[in-house]
Amino acid sequence: MWILLFTNSTYTDSSEHTSVPSGSNEYAGRSLDWQTDRLSTTNPVSKSAVGSVRGLIERWCAAYGDLNEKELAGLESPDIEIVDRFGELHVAKQQRDEERFWAEGFEMIRRDDFHPVCTVEEIRSTRPDVVIVHADISYSAGIPLKGGDDIPAFSEIHTFIVSRDEAVWRIAGHDITKRALQ
């Protein structure tokens, strides 16, 4: 069985993969037209859906950069599950829970000096109503904290599970993984 997997060109042809290699950002600026033909061979997503999901994540990135917990919570499903960068699972029961989660994280940050850079690296469909998005969030100047301390420069990969319910795309799951600055 393993021999078939490793010798079948479907599994070994690197030109068929859509993910961006770790440490590389060469595809981040490419048009989504490049990705939409390869999102999924079994469940293709229309270009308008990809555009809607990309717009949702771009709004999330803007709200995050503005430290706007209400806007972030408004983009998420009411029962979102978030795994933070420390591996802790947070399950919201209502929008107030989501707002509180973000507000608690933001309360220690110096707002005027917080400038994360968000880059969508991959958008991939698993079903017509479910899309996985990987975005790199870089803190090249670190994170400035109230009181004068700073968290040194680093980046994170944010994996969003986005689902559509009655034509509205929302973030249903979110995993944050710290990595070396890219």
Q: Are 85 and 176 in contact (CB under 8 A)?
A: yes
Q: What is the pLDDT of residue 21?
A: 35
The reply to whether 20 falls in a domain is no
Q: Which domain holds residue 155?
A: 30-179
pLDDT of residue 50: 87
% residues pLDDT > 90 (the chain): 63
How many domains are there within the chain? 1
**pLDDT higher at 19 or 56:** 56
Domain-embedded: residue 13:
no
At 157, which CATH number?
3.10.450.50
User: What's the predicted TM-score (pTM) here?
Assistant: 0.75
Does some domain include residue 21?
A: no
Give the mean pLDDT of 93-109.
Answer: 93
User: Over pLDDT 70: what percentage of the chain?
Assistant: 74
Could you tell me if 63 and 72 are in contact, meaning their C-beta atoms sit under 8 angstroms apart? yes
